[in-house]
């Protein structure tokens, strides 16, 4: 069993805590955003003190802070809360309030994902069900640091979780998840004629999906290029109408280190938000 499957199984084991309070088809509404939260805080950990110091120095100056905080973070996103999952556990009586503070401390591009997941509603329900402490405690023990799990492997873990979520939601699986074999075959057919070009040093290409769903084609494209040439760069673009699918896709792109400004929410037919862009490749699933 590869790292992505074994780690995905470990994360999905949180479902054991949810059984009884949640329907099986709703497990993903807790597990996916908590996985994202744990990964983001692990990525931000080395620069967290520097970001907090910068924020505290400049927060009262009345100026936009994004450029300063992303520079200190070294990432596209940051968090200005003093909390993380481990420190939250030190004050169980105020866990819900402090977790809400932690989430709202994220930069807008990351915060939107949690809002699309309706994460505040989920953690309120977990708190009301006396499950919040146990779920936070479980995720705090899972090592999702970049040193242990690369962006590529973390993307595969998230894909594995999305697959489990889709299989548990049989009635809507088609809306969330195109079968992996189909995705892989389609992606291979798209790229195979360019294999020679794509193996060159420093090659950069772009891939666009106008009906991105949870990002299956984008993820598969990224995986294909990585296997062919781990020095190549595939810039991913997509737009998705369904809010929950969009949140999953954007979270996956955050985890992979992609520019999440390239992932748009809305109807591509009536409100194409990427119409000024040109792409090397495009893939889409059209359902009748």
Tokens found for residue 272: 């194409």
Q: Report the mean per-residue pLDDT for the chain.
A: 89
Measured between alpha carbons, how far is 35 from 122 in angstroms, rounded to an integer?
Answer: 14
Strands laid side by side in the 263-265 sheet: 263-265, 233-240, 204-209, 281-282
pLDDT digits over 63-78, tens only? Answer: 999 999 999 999 989 9
Question: Is residue 165 very low, low, confident or very high in pLDDT (cuts 50, 70, 90)?
Answer: confident
Give the per-residue pLDDT at 5. 67
Measured between alpha carbons, how far is 38 from 144 in angstroms, rounded to an integer?
Answer: 7
Measured between alpha carbons, how far is 187 from 99 in angstroms, rounded to an integer?
Answer: 39
Give the per-residue pLDDT at 59. 92
Rounded-to-10 torsion of CA 149, 153, 155, 156: -130
pTM score > 0.95 for this model?
no
pLDDT digits over 23-44, tens only? Answer: 888 898 999 999 999 999 999 9
> Where does residue 161 rank: exposed (0-12), middle (13-18), buried (19+ CB within 10 A)?
buried
Domains and CATH numbers, the chain: 3-140 (no CATH), 178-282 (3.40.50.150)
**Mean pLDDT of the region 185-198:** 86
Give the per-residue pLDDT at 133. 98
């Amino acid at each position: 069993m590869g790292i992505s499957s074994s780690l995905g199984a470990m994360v999905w084991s949180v479902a054991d805590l949810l059984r009884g309070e949640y329907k099986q088809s709703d497990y993903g509404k807790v597990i996916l955003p908590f996985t994202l939260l744990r990964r983001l805080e692990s990525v931000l950990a080395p620069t967290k003190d520097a970001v907090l110091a910068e924020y505290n120095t400049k927060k009262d100056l009345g100026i936009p802070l994004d450029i300063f905080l992303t520079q200190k973070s070294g990432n596209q996103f940051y968090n200005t809360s003093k909390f993380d999952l481990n420190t939250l556990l030190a004050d169980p009586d105020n866990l819900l309030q402090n977790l809400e503070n932690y989430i709202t401390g994220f930069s807008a591009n990351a915060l939107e994902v949690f809002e699309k997941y309706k994460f505040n509603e989920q953690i309120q329900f977990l708190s009301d069900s006396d499950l919040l402490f146990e779920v936070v405690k479980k995720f705090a023990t899972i090592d999702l640091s970049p040193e242990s799990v690369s962006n590529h492997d973390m993307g595969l873990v998230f894909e594995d979780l999305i697959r489990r979520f889709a299989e548990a939601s049989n009635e809507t699986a088609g809306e969330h998840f195109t079968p992996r074999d189909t995705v892989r075959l389609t992606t291979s057919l798209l790229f195979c004629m360019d294999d020679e070009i794509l193996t060159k040093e420093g090659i950069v290409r772009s891939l666009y999906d106008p009906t991105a769903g949870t990002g299956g084609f984008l993820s598969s494209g990224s995986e294909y290029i990585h296997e062919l040439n781990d020095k190549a760069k595939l810039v991913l673009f997509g737009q998705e109408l369904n809010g929950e699918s969009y949140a999953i896709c954007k979270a996956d792109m955050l985890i992979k280190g992609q520019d999440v400004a390239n992932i748009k929410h809305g109807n591509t037919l009536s409100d194409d938000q990427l119409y000024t862009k040109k792409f090397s490749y495009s893939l889409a699933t059209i359902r009748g």
